[in-house]
Amino acid sequence: MKKFIRVVWFVLFLFGMVMFYIAPISVPDYVDKIYHFIGFTVLSILSISLFAAFFDKKWLNTFLVFLLLFGGAIAGVAELVQKHFSALRSCDYNDWIANLCGIVFVTLFVFLANSRQERSIELFDEKFDIESFS
C-alpha cells in the first residue's frame, strides 16, 4: 500500500508541475528561480523515494546518475514547453540552471548519505572480522 501511495504522490506532483509550467503566471525573476529550484528538488526527492520503494538500495547510486542525466533533459524540455505553450513565460537558461541545482542538491545529499551508511556498515563488518581472529 505504501508503494501505491508513493506512486500517487509522484503522479500528482508531476501533474501539478506540468500545470504550473504551462500556466500563464508572471512572477518576479528571483522568485521564479526559487520555484524552479524547489519544484525540481521535490520531484527528485519523490523519484528517489519511489525508486527506493521498488528496488534495492544497492542500485541507488546508479539511479542517481540516471536522475542527473534524465533530470537535466527533463529540465531542458520543461523550459522549452514553457516557451511554446505559455503566453507570459519564456525559455530561460537561468531557470534551467535552477532546475539542475535542485536535482544536483538532492542527488548529492542522497549519495553522501548512502555512501556514509555503506562505509559505516563496512567498518562495522571489519570490526567483527578483527575480533574473530583474536
Q: How many domains does the chain have?
A: 1
Within-domain flag for 15: no
Within-domain flag for 19: no
pTM, 2 dp: 0.74
Domain of 95 in residue numbering reads as 2-9+35-133
User: Cα(5)–Cα(73) distance, rounded to whole angstroms?
Assistant: 26
Within-domain flag for 29: no
pLDDT band at 107 (very low <50, low <70, confident <90, very high): very high
Average pLDDT over residues 97-116: 90
Does residue 11 surpass a pLDDT of 90? Answer: no
With cell 525508486, the residue in question is 51
Q: What is the pLDDT of residue 108?
A: 93
Within-domain flag for 66: yes
Average pLDDT over residues 31-43: 88
Within-domain flag for 26: no
